[in-house]
Structure 1
Amino acid sequence: MSRAEAAVRAPSPLWTLGLLRSELAITFRRWRTLALLGVLAAVPVLVGVAVRIETGGGSSPGHGGGGDGPAFITQITNNGLFLVFTALAATLPFFLPMAVGVIAGDAIAGEANAGTLRYLLVAPAGRTRLLLAKYAATIAFCLVATLVVAVSALAVGALLFPLGDLTTISGTRIGFAEGLGRALLIALVVAASLTGLAALGLFVSTLTNSGIAAMATTVGLLITVQILDQIPQLHAVQPYLFSHHWLSFADLMREPVYWDGLLKNLQLQALYAAVFGSAAWARFTAKDITA
């Protein structure tokens, strides 16, 4: 094989970077993606306005309404920064993972359904590079979606409630700057908590040529896992479900921080990413691309 042929068959790192940049642009320019981010940004607004209305008469949120509400909700009126933690706790069980499931499920199947997957592979990308670019774009969406929720919550919290030093779950006081740093760290942990689901959705996306079917299957698996995690008789398998340790991010608001649950969550996400990422690669590299 000549050097010219080798150059054609082995894309340069700059070409690979361009592929990733193209995938990011396609992902975040779609109206569906923008709509999902808009819905996620609206959740903290609704929570903040609801708390503001409920506490307008001097009552505490979560009392008199018959429910306890999401974690940290009783502290929002004392410090608007708690709206960030509340919004993430409210969106993580369903809204955030559903959005990730839609993006991941459509990654490969959507291209096949639109008839563009075969043309992508005609370019010197290679199936492995294309799959990695799709997964990287999905991970980027996980991060952006989480930050959208956090930033929206911070803005609404600053407008509707006071800001300042805050009290941790352990009862100790920390400064606003440290609290803001922990809010950012929590957002990063929440984004990392979705990487296992992203890999699962990508694997499902390689199994079908229908984007809608892949998205529906991924979201259906998400709902099923959430239900299984609530059945007491399944306590033996629940620690191995990708959603089981999602809310462990609350341990970052303890003093000192409890790392056990956080590390278990990150290790579990890494395991899911490795297993289903490998399964997606094995399926995609052997798949007969006809669309």
Structure 2
Amino acid sequence: MSSEAGQGLEAAAALPPRPAGETAASRPTRPPEAQSPARAAGGTLSLLGSELLTLFRRRRTWAMLGALALIPILIAVATRIAGGSSPGRGPAFLDQVTGNGLFVGVTAMTVAIPLFLPLTIGVVAGDSIAGEASHGTLRYLLIAPAGRIRLLVVKYAAAAAFCAAATLTVVIVGTLIGWALFPVGPVTLLSGATVSVGEGLLRLLAVAAYVTVSLLGMSAIGLFLSTLTTVPVGAMAATAILAVVSQIMDALPQLEALHPWLFTHHWLGFGDLLREPIVWDSFADNALLQGGYIVVFGALAVGRFLTKDVLS
């Protein structure tokens, strides 16, 4: 007997006995994630990259971003043609546009938050799982194997990336069109202090970050609703409607006790970032509230998706 054969017999003898009736094909194996954490992390990043590439290759995605870009363009062009408005008329900060073009982006953000941003976020989040199910590709994603929880995390991360892209589109296009059509100079903040153009631009980026965080809770709600149906339009519409209903409830003084718990409650609180010094309380409260919605509806999405029949 050769030494290689002897070593093979010794290794086989060291293995635990096979239960009766078990074959080599039926013996359970560890999933790839358990075998190699590094490979699992690499697979997650690869899946996320593929998801982002798919999302931002869609014409629908660019059509929605283009629609959001039209908001600051229309505000700037209309103000340039018709002139500025008096204080108290129109959206917040509109009366500041003619004096400083940097306020176009902030004004556009106040216009986009109540309806336009929720609509686009609702489309992306509501389509995340339901869209795959309706096209029959969900089962193949799970066979990959992507893993159900990993797939949910990737889908949510892609929706969060779109939130950032949407808010940056409004701010960047607003800044560019405002710079082109109006004078740009030191920014007078809500507290009366004046900061340089460079710091004003940083404040605009902070506003975009604030609004992005504001939309993360809604994205989690949309992801959960997307696991409940195979009809993407239903999940999209339900997500957008919930955002509108939440804002209506937030405007009713009779429901004041519920206001701090509504995911839209802090959506317009970014004005605190335009003060000197910056008041971070609204940002922290908003982040904490959105984090709570992410945890609750993320857990609901996981619970639903783990028991979802993807073969039906």
- Compute the TM-score of the two structures, normalised by the length of structure 1: 0.93
The 5 A counterparts of 1:40-189 are: 40-55=68-83, 60-62=84-86, 68-189=89-210
| AA matched with 1:24 | L
State the match for 1:243 in structure 2. 264
Counterpart of 1:234? Answer: 255
User: 5+ unaligned residues in a row in structure 2: which ranges?
Assistant: 1-23
Task: Establish whether residue 195 from structure 1 lines up as the match of residue 216 from structure 2.
Answer: yes
Name the larger-Rg structure.
2
Once the 2 structures are TM-superposed, how far is the Cα of residue 12 of structure 1 from its aligned partner? 2.6
Q: Which amino acid aligns with 1:83?
A: V
Q: Is 1:35 matched up with 2:59?
A: no
Contact 1:9–1:124 (CA under 8 A) maintained in structure 2: no
Return the match for 1:6 from 11, 15, 30.
Answer: 30
Match of residue 244, structure 2, among 212, 223, 227: 223
User: Could you tell me whether the CA contact under 8 Å between 2:33 and 2:40 is conserved in 1?
Assistant: no
CA–CA distance in structure 1, aligned partners of residues 29 and 64 of structure 2: 43
Deviation at 1:6, TM superposition (A): 3.4
Looking at structure 2, the residues matched to 9 and 163 of structure 1 have their Cα atoms a distance apart, in angstroms, of: 53
Partner of 1:213: 234
Question: 2:41 and 2:102 mapped to 1: Cα distance?
Answer: 42
Write out per-residue CA displacement over residues 211-242 of structure 1, whole angstroms, 9 at most, x where no aligned residue.
Answer: 11111111111121121111121111011111
- Which of 4, 10, 17 is the matching residue for 2:45? 17
**2:114 counterpart letter in structure 1:** P
> Which position in structure 1 is the counterpart of 2:7?
none
Q: Distance in 2 between matches of 1:259 and 1:21?
A: 33
Q: Cα deviations across residues 48-80 of structure 1 (Å, max 9, x unaligned)? A: 11111221xxxx4146xxx72121111111110
Aligned residues: 283
Q: Mark the runs of 5 or more structure 1 residues left unpaired by the alignment.
A: none
Partners of 1:61 and 1:9 lie apart in 2 by 59
Q: Distance in 2 between matches of 1:134 and 1:94?
A: 23
Pairwise CA distance, 1:104: 0.1
Give the alignment's Cα RMSD to 1 decimal.
1.7
Q: Which amino acid aligns with 1:202?
A: L
Of 214-223 and 152-161, deviating more is 214-223
Given the two structures, how large is their TM-score scaled by the length of structure 2? 0.87
Q: Which amino acid aligns with 1:12?
A: A
CA distance in 2, matches of 1:246, 1:218: 16
Question: Contact conserved, 2:114 with 2:244, CA < 8 A, in 1?
Answer: no
Q: CA–CA distance in 2 between the matches of 1:51 and 1:201?
A: 35
Contact 1:196/1:272 (8 A) holds in 2: yes
Counterpart AA for 2:297: F
SS of 2:30's partner is helix
Question: Which structure exhibits the higher relative contact order, with contacts defined as CA atoms closer than 8 Å and separated by 6 or more residues?
Answer: 1
SS in 1 for 2:310: coil
Aligned equivalents of 1:244, 1:153: Cα separation in 2: 25
Shift of residue 252, structure 1, vs aligned partner: 0.4
Task: Please say if residues 105 and 218 of structure 1, whose CA atoms lie closer than 8 Å, have aligned partners that are also in contact.
Answer: yes
1:80 match: secondary structure: coil
1:169/1:253 contact within 8 Å kept: yes
Q: Is the 8 A contact 1:199 1:277 kept in 2?
A: yes
User: Using the alignment, how far apart are the partners of 1:177 and 1:118 within structure 2?
Assistant: 49
For the residues of structure 1 that align with 2:260 and 2:32, how far apart are their CA atoms?
47
How far apart are the structure 1 equivalents of 2:140 and 2:62?
A: 26
Deviations 1:106-142 (A, max 9, x none): 0000100111101111112100100000000000000
CA distance in 2, matches of 1:13, 1:281: 19
